[in-house]
Structure 1
Amino acid sequence: MRLRLLAATALLALTSCNNSKTASPPATSGVTDAMIADAAEGEWLSYGRDYAEQRFSTLKQVNDSNVGQMGLAWFADLDTARGQEATPLMHDGVLYISTAWSMVKAYDAKTGALKWAYDPQVAREKLVDVCCDAVNRGVALYGDKVYVATLDGRLVALDQKTGKVVWTKQTFPADSHMAITGAPRVVKGKILIGSAGAEYFTRGYLAAFDPQTGNELWKFYTVPGDPSKPQEGKHLDAAAKTWSGDFWKTGGGGTVWDSITYDPVTNLVYFGTANAEPWNPAHRNTNGAGDSLYTASIVAVNADTGEYAWHFQETPEDRWDFDSNQQITVADLMIGGQKQHVIMHAPKNGFFYVLDAKTGKFISGKPFVDGINWASGLDPVTGRPSVNPDAKYEVTGKPFLGSPGAVGAHSWTPMSFSPLTGLVYIPTNNTPQLYAPDPDWKPGTTGFQLGIDATLGNLPADKKVRDATAAALTGALVAFDPVAGKVKWKVPYPMPTNGGTLATAGNLVFQGTATGEFNAYSADAGKKLWSFGTQSGVLAAPMTYSIGGEQYVAVLAGWGGVWDVSGGSLVSPKITPNISRLLVFKLGAKGTLPAPPPSAKRVLDPPPSTGTPEQIALGTKLYSNSCSVCHGNAAVAGALNPDLRHSTALGNPKLWQDIVHDGLLKQNGMVAWKGQFTPEQIEAIRLFVVKRANEDKALGGN
């Protein structure tokens, strides 16, 4: 389970040449490369606004002296009740968004009138291959087209004016366990996208596609393939020496599910890679050592060819799911009295990295959160972490309570950088996690492939333990000085996984929260200046634009994502329902939202618990290591996926088998698990859930 809550080229050129094709000429009308590189002040043309991904706007009509006068200009309800994680784009008066299930919508950016909508009809059973909800983080604009990458791996080009499909291309095999949740990026006349799923038999890559045809132009693999066959480049020959055993049979991981940044100064594309697969190194490196390149790393490649330039591995031999897929930001900083062209990164592992943009040389790495215990620090010259021996749970054979946990000190929610204050604004999490080895683990056929035993992380039916755990799982907005390597100010939150940030020249930082607020703070001091109740948690990052001399601020609201699907509601009593909307604000607006629907109180009414101790023990382990990914810690689900304690099938063993074994509800995302579990094992899972439901009923739970 991703979220385990606290419990107490033969040549280098082969990289590109094997698949290299001639690209179409760059766009000369509509949205061009030059426009993205130097975005007009009032527009937002790329995921991070411009190539540098600073998420900083020079607009300042809305500022720290008048933001209190901002109100709701318009809103649009969305036709999907899943997590919303996209950053809207705005060009020529039109606002473009993607929603959950990879749908795309275009609105008049001033009035909110819907211009068109597109639904790629993603099969709902694809949800089993996605760790953290059916989300999509945004579209790309280029020429006269809108590009969206769908959950099931299609790259789709839509006409900007009508939303009609121009072409579609399947970017990975249709029967693959891969998925796509990230936003495509435009780089020198190419559309770049990777894939997600480093826990699902996947081999990571970043690929470039022709914007006019969808033809693949180059592909860069992030981990080696079958060692008995030639590798696709010298960089993989080098990486293969850091793996051993049959790692390639589970794919290796290292997916590029977010963080793609282009730097025109160096002509390099920087991207982050995910964890190695499985998490437990004992099941991917049979000789007991190896860094598992290029997982949990920043990699730089030539933007024209996809050839390897350099890499920096932030978490060697990652065993804690410390993905490096978080946003990579390019900037010029004054360091030691000299201007340096750098990239800045705040990955899951809790250290803030500053690297030379041209060479990848380590400049600095300082903690941006408290409580890091997996490493005592970073080597001041190389940046390599000094790993705590106790954190190597596969070596000690003992559980390790790690901080950060797999949710990360900073997850995908974008940070922003203000050149005016020199600060980076980071949504941070405090979510320790228990890691325990499973020496008997074998790869399955469905779901996560982790190599760990998540059973010990189940929270007991004990209110004191749950309350103490809830108090320990928090979040914050952190303003970090990348030159001094210190936190300048911090705003604490009662829950983790709060929204991404936006910085503006009006000395403002905007951020939504998991508890249903959209806030504005002074960028220099962190003083709260304005707030709006969103009725649902905000995960997405806001953006801003202007039309007719008026500045607007837009954000998607809609609770979901990793904290919800993995059972954060068990210890997060303030968790919000999913009410998915696009919200747009401006000065002087007086709009209001309709009253939220009343929440229905559910009563636990399970059948009697009849499982034997052996059945319950088996069901506990199977549920914890597989089912909890969607249905929650200790069988307590979040707001999106079914809570099995309330299932109508709980007292009907045959119906339970029809659903779990045979896939009766696959159209709802509940695929068949008959290749993974026997009927006896599935019955053990049912008996475990029955027991848990009775325990919570005795506690007065619901």
Structure 2
Amino acid sequence: MLSCALLVACANGFQSQEPAAAPPPAPANASLGDPGAWTSTGRDAAEQRYSPLTQIDQKNVDGLGLAWSYKLDVDRATEATPVVVDGIMYVTGAYSIVSALDPRDGHELWKYDPKVSRDVDRQGCCDVANRGVAVAGGKVFVGAYDGRLIALDAKTGAPLWTADTVIDHKRSYTITGAPRVIKGRVLIGNGGAEFGVRGYVSAYDADTGKLDWRFYTVPGDPSQPPENEAMALARATWYGDQYWKFGGGGTPWDSMAYDPELDLVYIGTGNGVAWNRKVRSDGKGDNLFLSSIVALKPETGEYVWHYQTTPGDSWDFTATQSLILADLSIDGKSRKVIMQAPKNGYFYVLDRTNGQLLSAKNFVKLTWSSGIDMQTGRPMETPDADWTSGPKLIFPGPLGAHNWQPMSYSPQTGLVYIPAQQAPALYAPDNSQTFKGKGLWHLGSQPIALPEKPKELQGIADLYKGQLVAWDPVAQKAVWTQDYATIWNGGTLATAGGLVFQGTADGRFVAYAADTGKKLWETPADTGVMAGPMTYTIDGQQYVTVEAGWGGAFPLALGGISTVAAVKPQARVLTYKLGGSATLPAVDLAPETLPPPPPVTASAKVVGHGRELYNRYCGMCHGPDAMSGGVIPDLRYLTADKHLLFNGILAGAYASKGMPAMMDVLSADDADAIHQYLIQRAHDLQKQLAAGSGKAGG
């Protein structure tokens, strides 16, 4: 699992654990390199999400008020961290729409819509989100959901060049992550592993958009020679011929970091396709470079070292979560480290010069592994981990112990602030699955299904718990924690003012004391907050900004459970300052009125078949068992006209509204069976509401 390492001489790191000195006053227009700016998605190349600003601190944070808000175009998953460069804020929303704002008052300077087709949902996992832009050399770089990398003029928003990053348009490639600009190159990874793609990260010339290099994360066609030594190394860890038909996966869809002194760029890679390693690789092999941290040379993409967090991953335990660089004192020595808390539930500290594992401890409850063998660096799997022979309830599940929501590190406290969660899953195998084509899920597992009875559903929902964990990466232990109503809470921001900011799934924005975890301030956000906050100064005033808006994998794939959050997807940019007095528009949280459903005309057998089809083809967006999380329409609430048009909707009548056509995989009888199942579920809900039990999923 640990590779042959390229050893690099030690040099001074990014941040020590010494308390940060107060920064000098920021210039009127915070620009690149100024302490008052936020120049990239993680603030700097180390991705610490730590600001040296101190104007807002533990003593006065309770004086924060809303300075301004900006309404984003689409009320869907809002996951970006804004960037402030040269006095302009750049934000993105759903469908990769970019806005440039004045950071003083939020007024719009320009907007760019890449015109991503609104029926693209079927081609990707976990909502049409975008996690932000990169800004360099007078250009703004954004990855569009459909796979285009676009350069815009930073002052006007005019497009300068577009690169198609997709290597095979017969496969479902997407982009949700923020690009990084390193040494004149724009780096971007793609998503799509669940749908059957081969993972890679690409580097494009920032001036021209020309492809400079590409690093594949899993091996390609076994009948062809491997592209390089890294792919030769990887190929020896894969078995059978299914992996190539499925694509392999390993998509690096989010995290990156860069050490300019070592001149190494670090990427995190994703899960395999199918998830089920018995389907993917005959149940054998480590399947490099799935679920790995990989170090590359930024000028060539040449492989340097790797560490695989989950060899032979069979649970969707991606290692695409936040990568943070820091210098830590370990055993009396200063070590250049890279830290990660991936989905699998362990917090890893590695030597970033060579990939050596220094320590690893679990930060949440685990049942799939009993610990990390420090001799081999491998997790010790428990008997409960193998679900390929029958269903198993495993902690954590595919939503992970920590998902994409970014964590932060404070060199002032020496703590990492992790948006942690307990999110188990019942994995059930489909060992006969084969690759079926574009736009379809390929997991090697049965579709997600939830109990339809409210009491049983509530019992499942009670297993899902959210938490903010302040983690000591040297001692490998929690220093303090904050519990939340449910999972899917937002990313974190640490500041030299002794604060940690985080939004919550149940619609709040909160500040804690970074050293003790005491809650010092909170304000309603009027929607679920998932994104990572940031802070900046302009005209001598410090602001704190977070993008708010509910969506993503949790409310889509587990709708009936996610309703515990009780929010709606109001997508906005929210900015606060000391003494701010702006207000948010009122949000109508009144429940939707259930239209009288038509009678069920099919047999119980047909309705049961409709349930199976629905969960396989519809449930990953509209919620399993027709229980929506409030982001995508709840199909139990179909109106009379939509019931009449139901088959037409599946044929593409609502494509421009975001509903993809499905009749390429469904027959007319299938569509009728799904329709009858939805009518039955509407009648079920009608009875629950009459009995006063329409809570979880209601």
TM-score after normalising by structure 2: 0.92
Q: 2:408 aligns with which of 399, 411, 416?
A: 416
Among candidates 259, 263, 267, match of residue 263 of structure 1: 259
SS at match of 1:152: coil
Task: Compute the displacement of 1:174 (Å).
Answer: 4.9
Q: What displacement does 1:562 show?
A: 1.3
Shift of 1:589: 1.7
Are 1:378 and 2:367 counterparts? no
Q: Tell me which residue corresponds to 2:113.
A: 119
SS of alignment partner, residue 193 of structure 2 = coil
Q: Which residue of 2 aligns with 1:665?
A: 654
Residue of structure 2 in register with 1:93 after alignment:
87
Contact persistence 2:127–2:552 (CA under 8 A): yes
* Kept in 2: contact 1:467–1:571 (CA 8 A): no
Paired position in structure 1 for 2:305: 310
> Is 171-180 or 350-359 further displaced after alignment?
171-180
Where 1:378 maps in the other structure, the secondary structure is strand
- TM-superposed CA distance for 1:403, in Å, is 0.6
**2:269 is aligned with 1:273:** yes
> Hey, what does 1:697 align to over in structure 2?
686
Task: Tell me, in whole angstroms, the C-alpha distance in 2 between the residues paired with 1:38 and 1:117.
Answer: 22
Letter in 1 for 2:103: A
Q: 1:649–1:656: 8 Å Cα contact kept in structure 2?
A: no
Supply the AA of the counterpart residue of 1:166.
Answer: L
Q: 1:431 aligns with which of 407, 423, 427?
A: 423
Output the amino acid matched with 2:242.
D
Aligned to 1:403: 395
The answer to which of 107-116 and 344-353 deviates more is 107-116
**2:335 aligned with 1:340:** yes
Q: Counterpart in 2 of 1:686?
A: 675
Alignment of 1:23-38 (within 5 A): none
How many percent of aligned residue pairs carry the same amino acid? 47
Shift of 1:537: 0.9
499, 521, 539: which is aligned to 1:530? 521
Conserved 8 A contact 2:423-2:465 = yes
Partner-residue secondary structure (3-state), 2:608: helix
Query: Does residue 154 of the first structure (1) align with residue 154 of the second (2)?
Result: no
Alignment correspondent of 1:558: 549
SS at match of 2:459: helix
Q: Is 2:489 aligned against 1:489?
A: no
Asked if 1:206 corresponds to 2:201, the answer is: yes
Give the equivalent residue in structure 1 for 2:12. none
The equivalences for 1:66-465 within 5 A come to 66-172=60-166, 173-174=168-169, 176-244=171-239, 245-286=241-282, 288-369=283-364, 371-394=365-388, 397-445=389-437, 446-454=439-447, 457-461=449-453, 463-465=454-456
Report how far residue 571 of structure 1 moved: 5.1
CA deviations 1:533-564 (Å, max 9, x no partner) are: 11111111110111122111111111111112
> Is the 1:443–1:449 Cα contact (8 Å) retained in structure 2?
yes
- Does the 8 A contact of 2:32 with 2:85 survive in 1? no
Are residue 516 (structure 1) and residue 507 (structure 2) matched?
Answer: yes
2:186 counterpart letter in structure 1: I
Contact 2:512–2:519 under 8 Å retained in 1: yes
Tell me the distance in 2 between the aligned counterparts of 1:648 and 1:280: 39
Distance 1:242 1:171 in 2: 27
Which residue of structure 2 lines up, in the alignment, with residue 608 of structure 1?
599
CA distance, structure 1, for counterparts of residue 33 and residue 451 of structure 2: 49
Cα distance in 2 between the residues matched to 1:292 and 1:507? 42
1:65 aligns with 2:55: no
Partners of 1:167 and 1:214 within 8 A in 2: yes
- The C-alpha deviation readout for 1:565-601, integer Å capped at 9, x for no partner, is 2233445333201111111111122222222235353
Given that 1:37 and 1:51 are in contact with CA atoms closer than 8 Å, whether structure 2 keeps it comes out as no
Residue 613 of structure 1 deviates from its aligned partner by 4.0
Taking structure 1 as the reference length, what is the TM-score of the superposition? 0.91
Q: Which digits, 9 at most, give the CA deviation of each residue in 1:183-242, with x for residues without a partner? A: 000111110001111111211000100011100000000011110111211211121122
Partner of 2:11: none
Does the 8 Å contact 2:485/2:564 carry over to 1?
Answer: no
The amino acid across from 2:182 in the alignment is V
What is the alpha-carbon root mean square deviation over aligned residues? 1.9
| 1:7 corresponds to | none
Secondary structure of the residue aligned to 1:595 is coil
User: Which residues in structure 2 correspond to 1:489-638 (within 5 Å)?
Assistant: 489-570=480-561, 572-597=563-588, 599-603=590-594, 605-638=596-629
* Residues 336-372 of structure 1, C-alpha deviations (whole Å, 9 max, x = no match): 0110001000000000000110111111110111x20
**Is the CA contact 1:469–1:571 (under 8 Å) kept in the aligned structure 2?**
no
| Cα separation, 1, equivalents of 2:476 and 2:595 | 50
| Separation of aligned partners in 1, 2:526 and 2:200 | 38
The one-letter code of the counterpart of 2:262 is T
Deviations, residues 1-41 of structure 1 (Å, cap 9, x unaligned):
xxxxxxxxxxx9xxxxxxxxxxxxxxxxxxxxxxx998320
Question: Does the 8 A contact of 2:31 with 2:86 survive in 1?
Answer: no
Whole-Å Cα distance in 2 between the matches of residues 234 and 669 of structure 1?
A: 43
The residue matched to 2:470 in structure 1 has which SS?
A: strand
Mapped to 2, the partners of 1:655 and 1:38 lie a distance apart of 53
C-alpha separation in 2, matches of 1:301 and 1:551: 36
Give the distance between the partners of 1:226 and 1:673, measured in 2 at CA: 30
Q: Is the 8 A contact 2:408 2:494 kept in 1?
A: yes
- Matches of 2:433 and 2:498, distance apart in 1: 52
Q: 3-state SS of the aligned residue for 1:191?
A: strand
Moved more, 603-612 or 38-47: 603-612
Following TM superposition, by how much is the alpha carbon of 1:295 offset from its aligned partner in structure 2, in angstroms? 0.8
1:264 counterpart letter in structure 2: P
Question: Matches of 2:296 and 2:380 in 1, distance apart?
Answer: 28
Q: How many Å separate the matches in 2 of 1:345 and 1:314? A: 10
Q: In the aligned structure 2, how far is the partner of 1:670 from the partner of 1:74? A: 33
SS of structure 2 residue aligned to 1:127: helix
Name the SS of the counterpart of 1:199 in structure 2: helix
Give the residue type in structure 2 aligned to 1:405.
G
Partner SS for 1:101: helix
Secondary structure (helix, strand or coil) at the match of 2:565 reads coil
Q: CA deviation at 1:602?
A: 2.0
Output one character per residue of 1:478-528: Cα deviation in whole Å (capped at 9) or x when no partner: 000000000110000001011100000000000011111111000000000
Aligned pairs (5 A) from 1:9-24: none
Runs of at least 5 residues in structure 1 that lack an aligned partner in the other structure = 1-11, 13-35
Q: Is the 8 A contact 2:134 2:180 kept in 1?
A: yes
Q: Displacement of 1:687 after TM fit?
A: 2.6
The farther-off stretch of 374-383 and 336-345 is: 374-383
| Aligned equivalents of 2:123, 2:505: Cα separation in 1 | 25
Q: CA offsets per residue over residues 427-470 of structure 1, 9 Å max, x none?
A: 01111110000133333233211110135x42222x22222222
Cα distance, 1:606 vs structure 2: 2.5
Cα distance between partner residues in 2 of 1:194 and 1:76: 29
AA of the residue aligned to 1:588: G
